[in-house]
């Protein structure tokens, strides 16, 4: 690799989950602290960080095509850093196959990004995919300006080893960040303008502090921050929904009535083959207990169709579960074999046409479910946190307590928490009428 002048401008492109979005923001802050500036819209950056996702699809191919597309008209290219979960899983191969990549950095090592970039600029390609336990966060600069709704990663990694999933391999074992660090970061986020904080983790409800206390204790400490209006958390595993966390949905008024609780499939045989270590009944029991303390709570989930060996009858059980639970919103995916996971080597891989059919049927059922949930909210009054302008002039888009997208017109601004009446529902959003003018 030829030496280049130290980069002055950067761009971070994050793919995949919200934890990657959070990591991408923190990498940006790290580069800012080095005196670099984000490249202006439309301008070319000296450094491009591809913050990759490995969860599904041909993620690796995508990375190579993105790298190829970064080549400029005159044949030159920015300094390229590949970060995220593809970097972790395929770092050596990326270095071999893509000579234009200067830096490969895994999700647990990105606090070293500036040093790695400096190495690469000096002409020495640099790779760091070490996975030390959470040393990274202590090495990051403090949070800077953030939007009204901010992410806070509290826990990383996963010990569950669902047989389809790469996360335990790319993000490593479950590690919780310390209570005091998280409260301090929460304070900084609120000082920087956050009204809502979403606590993030692959298994966020497996978070424990040094004394073994659960997420409800962190939510309570954050709720004590006067400037903070809303607290959310995702993604949760059904087996980690403790009594304490369930009770927080009754006792903590800032904890929003929304629970993202993936189930993946509606058949006990498939769940066992997935190594989910819960059943349909135990999953439904968790939801019932949450609904008992917080009636009307919005439940969302993740589903995988076409797991190896899934029969038509087993898939039909997934559809029945959707109808029985009544989801507010959901994510649904075709099973995608991930290299190195047990399911990738299982018999009974499902044909693509069958996957397509099942996904369509599932998405139709989920749409019906969301529409029913949203329609039931019409006529209610609620607070909406404004996130951005809507498509039409004078229109605003924000989130209800139930994480519904709500749009309305009126005198308001981004970051305002306004009172509306919900007037019309679609499967993916609601129209509302502004009731209380935003404070001046």
User: Footprint of ligand 5AD on this chain (CB under 6 A)?
Assistant: 55-56, 164-165, 262, 264, 302, 304, 333, 335-336, 338
Binding-site member from 11, 26, 54, 160 for ligand SF4 (CB under 6 A): 160
Least distance (Å) from ligand SF4 to the CB of residue 154? 15
> Which backbone phi and psi does 231 adopt, to 5 degrees?
-130, 135
Reported in sequence order, the residue ranges of 295-354 that DSSP labels E, i.e. its strands, are: 298-305, 329-334
Residue 3, CA distances (Å) to 69, 92, 296 in order: 21, 21, 59
What, of ligand 5AD, ligand SF4, none, does residue 161 touch, CB below 5 to 8 Å by kind?
ligand SF4
Q: Which two tokens stand for residue 138?
A: 């202590």
Torsion of CA 27, 32, 36, 40, to 10 degrees: 80
Binding-site member from 167, 223, 256, 328 for ligand SF4 (CB under 6 A): 167
What, of ligand 5AD, ligand SF4, none, does residue 158 touch, CB below 5 to 8 Å by kind?
ligand SF4
Stretch that binds ligand SF4, among 131-139, 155-163, 322-330, 397-405 (CB under 6 A): 155-163
Q: Is 162 in the site for ligand SF4 (CB under 6 A)?
A: yes
| Rounded Cα gap, residues 34 and 13, in angstroms | 19
Q: What angle do CA 280, 286, 290 make, to 5 degrees?
A: 145
Q: Is 273 in the site for ligand SF4 (CB under 6 A)?
A: no
Least distance (Å) from ligand 5AD to the CB of residue 56? 5
Q: Is 237 in the site for ligand SF4 (CB under 6 A)?
A: yes
Least distance (Å) from ligand SF4 to the CB of residue 173? 11
* 31 vs 166, beta carbon nearer ligand SF4: 166
- What is the DSSP code (8-state) at residue 343? G
User: How would you classify the pairing of strands 381-389 and 417-425?
Assistant: antiparallel
Q: Is 165 in the site for ligand SF4 (CB under 6 A)?
A: yes
Q: Is 168 in the site for ligand SF4 (CB under 6 A)?
A: yes
* 168 vs 337, beta carbon nearer ligand SF4: 168
Using only C-alpha atoms, what is the Rg of the chain? 22
Least distance (Å) from ligand 5AD to the CB of residue 364? 18
* 17 vs 217, beta carbon nearer ligand SF4: 17
Least distance (Å) from ligand SF4 to the CB of residue 330? 15
| Rounded Cα gap, residues 265 and 269, in angstroms | 9
Among candidates 197, 311, 328, which has minimal Cα distance to 256?
A: 197
Residue 90, CA distances (Å) to 20, 54, 82, 83, 144 in order: 17, 10, 10, 11, 32
What, of ligand 5AD, ligand SF4, none, does residue 65 touch, CB below 5 to 8 Å by kind?
none
Q: Is 230 in the site for ligand SF4 (CB under 6 A)?
A: no
| Rounded Cα gap, residues 230 and 234, in angstroms | 14
Binding-site member from 63, 109, 113, 158 for ligand SF4 (CB under 6 A): 158
Q: Which two tokens stand for residue 275?
A: 């190594």
Q: Is 331 in the site for ligand SF4 (CB under 6 A)?
A: no
* 267 vs 336, beta carbon nearer ligand 5AD: 336
What, of ligand SF4, ligand 5AD, none, does residue 373 touch, CB below 5 to 8 Å by kind?
none
Please give the size of the binding site for ligand SF4, defined by CB under 6 A. Answer: 10
* 280 vs 384, beta carbon nearer ligand SF4: 280
What, of ligand 5AD, ligand SF4, none, does residue 304 touch, CB below 5 to 8 Å by kind?
ligand 5AD
* 237 vs 260, beta carbon nearer ligand SF4: 237
* Number of CB atoms found within 10 A of residue 250's CB: 12
DSSP for 37-80 reads EEPPTTSPPSEEEEEE--SSSSHHHHHHHHHHHT--TTS---EE
* Number of CB atoms found within 10 A of residue 268's CB: 16
| Rounded Cα gap, residues 80 and 49, in angstroms | 6
SS3 of residue 434 by DSSP: strand
- Chain positions 184 to 203 lying near ligand SF4, rule: CB under 6 A, are 202-203
Q: Is 286 in the site for ligand SF4 (CB under 6 A)?
A: no
Residues making up the chain, counted from first to last? 440
Using CB under 6 A, list all residues that contact ligand SF4: 158, 160-162, 165, 167-168, 202-203, 237
């Amino acid at each position: 690799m030829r030496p280049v002048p130290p980069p002055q401008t950067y761009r971070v492109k994050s793919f995949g989950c919200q934890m990657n979005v959070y990591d991408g923001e923190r990498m940006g802050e790290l580069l800012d602290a080095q005196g670099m500036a984000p490249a202006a819209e439309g301008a070319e950056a000296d450094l491009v960080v591809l913050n990759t996702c490995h969860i599904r699809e041909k993620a690796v191919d995508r990375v190579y095509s993105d790298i190829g597309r970064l080549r400029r008209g005159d044949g030159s290219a920015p300094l390229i850093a590949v970060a995220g979960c593809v970097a972790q899983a395929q770092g050596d191969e990326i270095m071999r196959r893509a000579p234009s990549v200067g830096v490969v950095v895994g999700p647990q090592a990105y606090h070293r990004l500036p040093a790695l970039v400096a190495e690469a600029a000096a002409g020495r390609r640099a790779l760091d995919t070490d996975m030390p336990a959470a040393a990274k966060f202590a090495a990051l600069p403090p949070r800077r300006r953030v939007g009204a709704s901010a992410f806070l990663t509290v826990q990383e990694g996963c010990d569950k080893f669902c047989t389809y999933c790469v996360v335990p391999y790319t993000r490593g074992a479950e590690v919780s960040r310390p209570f005091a660090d998280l409260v301090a970061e929460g304070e900084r986020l609120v000082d920087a303008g956050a009204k809502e904080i979403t606590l993030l983790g692959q298994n966020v409800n497996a978070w424990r502090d040094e004394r073994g206390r659960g997420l409800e204790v962190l939510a309570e400490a954050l709720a004590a921050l006067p400037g903070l209006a809303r607290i959310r958390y995702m993604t949760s595993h059904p087996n980690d929904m403790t009594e304490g966390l369930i009770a927080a949905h009754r006792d903590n008024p800032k904890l929003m009535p929304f629970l993202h609780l993936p189930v993946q499939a509606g058949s006990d045989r498939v769940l066992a083959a997935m190594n989910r270590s819960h059943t349909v009944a135990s999953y439904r029991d968790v939801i019932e207990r949450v609904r008992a303390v917080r009636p009307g709570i919005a439940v969302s989930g993740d589903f995988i169709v076409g797991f190896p060996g899934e029969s038509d009858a087993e898939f039909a059980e997934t559809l029945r579960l959707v109808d029985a639970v009544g989801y507010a919103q959901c994510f649904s995916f075709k099973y995608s074999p991930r290299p190195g996971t047990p399911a990738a080597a299982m018999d009974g891989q499902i044909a693509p046409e069958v996957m397509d059919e099942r996904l369509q049927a599932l998405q139709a059922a989920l749409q019906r479910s969301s529409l029913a949930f949203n329609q039931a909210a019409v006529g209610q009054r609620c607070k909406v946190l404004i996130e951005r302008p809507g498509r039409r002039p004078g229109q605003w888009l924000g989130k209800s307590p139930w994480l519904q997208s709500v749009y309305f017109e009126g005198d308001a601004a981004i970051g305002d928490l306004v009172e509306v009446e919900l007037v019309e529902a679609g499967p993916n959003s609601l129209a509302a009428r502004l009731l209380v003018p935003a404070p001046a």
